[in-house]
Amino acid sequence: MYFYKLDDGQYIKTSRNLDHSPDYAGRVTRVSTVAYNEATRQKVRLDLSFVSKPGFIKRIDESLGAIDYTLKGDTLVVEDSTPEELQALFLEYNKCIKNSEIDARTRDLINQGFQFGGNQFSLSDTAQRNWMAIRSAVEVGDLDLPIKVSTIDDLEHEIRTPDELQSFFLTGIGTVKYHYGTGRDLKGVVDSKNDTSEVAAVEDVR
């Protein structure tokens, strides 16, 4: 048996291999191979590449705890699953993929940096640590103002006063928090959906 996702977002089970079927050309994606076991009535095997997206195993634990599953080598085995449970499983998978895309967009936005004083500054992990170190050094008197900081384009920007330094720091940290916050809100919308088509319709327009 095979498990396919149609181009309209629906899932079907069939004994036919539709990978190269002219009737379904361009309309289906095989997402798993379904094998039946007489002892357990049904056993579903999913390719590890399909299920090993970030957080997916954890989401099964949290959302589908009633389904018995084990990880055997490269295979996730779901025991005694009903069609409804399978649909729920793939709904959770689609949510996981969508949320991963949102996280990637959040990281991309943060990597673009922040604007201050007409210049663009980095928000890489290293840059954030540098900004915090500079702020701390000035506060304890180990570093005197004015200081020059590098922009994302390797130019120099001079910070002259403690107030300007505080504004610089808060602008950077505020930008990071804003992007994480909008991403978190968007993932909340995804998690509230009860249908794969609704999940697919959620757009990240940030």
Single-letter code of the amino acid located at 71: L
How confident is the model at residue 15, as a pLDDT?
Answer: 63
Q: Do the bridges between strand 114-116 and strand 119-121 make them parallel or antiparallel, or are there none, so unpaired?
A: antiparallel
Which residue would you say has higher pLDDT here, 185 or 27?
Answer: 185
Provide the b/e sequence for 141-160 (b: ≥16 CB within 10 Å): eeeeeeeebebbeeeebebe
pLDDT tens digits, residue range 51-70? 434 444 444 444 444 444 44
- Residues 98-114 have pLDDT tens digits of 888 899 999 999 999 99
Closest by alpha carbon to 121, among 149, 151, 147? 151
- What is the DSSP annotation of 76-99? EEEES--HHHHHHHHHHHHHHHHH
Decide: 89 and 78 in contact? Cβ < 8 Å: yes
Instruction: Point out the least confidently predicted range of 23-37, 65-79, 185-199.
Output: 65-79
pTM of the model: 0.65
pLDDT of residue 117: 95
